[in-house]
Amino acid sequence: MEKKREFDRSDPATEALPTPIQRMLVKMMWVLLLVAFLNTGAVQCQRSSLKDSKRLDPEVNMNISEIIRHWGYPTEEHDVVTEDGYILSVNRIPHGLKKGDDPKPAVFLQHGLLAAGSNWVTNLPNTSLAYLLADAGYDVWIGNSRGNTWSRRHLTLSPDHNEFWQFSYDEMAKKDLPAVVNHILKTTGQEQIYYIGHSQGTTIAFVAFSSMPELASKIKMFFGLAPVATVAFTASPMSKLSIFPDFLIWDVFGKKDFMPQSALIKWFATNVCSKKPLSELCGNLFFVLCGFDELNLNMTRTPVYTSHCPAGTSVQNMIHWSQAVHGGKLMAYDYGRAGNMAHYNQSTPPLYNIQDMKVPTALWSGGHDTLADPKDVAVLLNQVPNLVYHRHIEHWEHLDFIWGLDAPQEMYSEIIKLMSQQDLV
């Protein structure tokens, strides 16, 4: 008797294709969500008048370097090529408003999921970590993960090719991060740098620093903001994607990019978020995804936030996160049994052991963070072997770490203090 083929939920090439009814239900769900979103804000599509455009914050239409220059800071743009051919855009603020003569310790800032390096500079200078670090005497480098708005280039592939999008945070950790760190060290002549990551930026670090000891030796200290190693307890709406099997996600969203910055989002930022009565809607959309703390967000900046974020990633990366919700562990991407044998020489994806990470680590967590859930963070804290500092800020949600009005007092000052102490070692 012929053996029945076992269903493999994680293999995109599986024969167990969704039925027409399944496709219809999923697509109907997303249509309903879109309609609810539009109705909530009573959005009316109309052309912007010249008068309206003059009232727009100019940063809405700026790239990262232009935003930095807008506030009077020096800036450089660097192209970093990974070993697999991706061309990453890296921004640099070599010094603060006062240059000084001494060599400055380098610090690298890595954004989170669906975000971009602009996250570190889209608040006003007195509340943006990148500017505060530069003014404190640091050489600031800002990363952009493969596939986001500013890193959609490759030596041989086009974003129009499915192959371009065959990556997840595994490749960001094992390909992107080593390339950028080595570029910074080569450019500055330093032996070590500081690493600051937010959300997925911490996940990348946990993967890289626990599995690549040579890379870890180049990190003087790791600062994790809203650290994410596991998402077993996450309550974010983004986690609802994990309800669906991988093959259905492939079918609905395709095999390329997920939530890229687009003309529609730009229109929304300039025509909706710029209007005072509706700017709160834009803020609330962020809160729905990441948590609730409206009083701690500069609502006048929402057009700038929404014109730069979301910045996109790959569908495969979102599937990796979906797998993480199901698995409850920090593990490599699951290609399915056959694919895992080809990639890892084992039927299941390997796990990453954070206890192998020796880098001095400081972590900050939020009590109302629905992405980096406090229960997941509690599990993580017991696994970090060289944890030198942790602070739990009870009233914070996921965005307070990058955009919170009280972030300079609550956390940024602590980061700079820890870095200055480490500089003396």
Question: Rounded to an integer, what distance in angstroms lies between the CA atom of residue 340 and that of residue 273?
Answer: 44
Question: Rounded to an integer, what distance in angstroms lies between the CA atom of residue 196 and that of residue 142?
Answer: 10
Please enumerate in sequence order all residues whose Cβ is within 8 A of that of 233, keeping only pairs 6 or more positions apart, or say none.
373, 375, 376
Question: Rounded to an integer, what distance in angstroms lies between the CA atom of residue 68 and that of residue 92?
Answer: 9
CB 311 within 8 A of CB 148: yes
Residue 396: what residue type?
W
CB 296 within 8 A of CB 405: yes
Q: How far is CA 5 from CA 2, 8, 16, 248, 346, in A?
A: 9, 9, 10, 19, 19
Read off the tokens for 34.
Answer: 């879109």
Question: Rounded to an integer, what distance in angstroms lies between the CA atom of residue 246 and that of residue 257?
Answer: 15
Active site residue 199: yes
Residue 336, SS3 per DSSP = coil
Q: How far is CA 143 from CA 111, 211, 293, 367, in A?
A: 7, 21, 27, 27
Burial class (CB in 10 A: 0-12, 13-18, 19+), 47: exposed
CB 139 within 8 A of CB 188: yes
CB 398 within 8 A of CB 370: yes
Q: Which of 199, 210, 236, 314 is catalytic?
A: 199
Active site residue 183: no
CB 396 within 8 A of CB 411: no
| Catalytic machinery residues | 199, 398
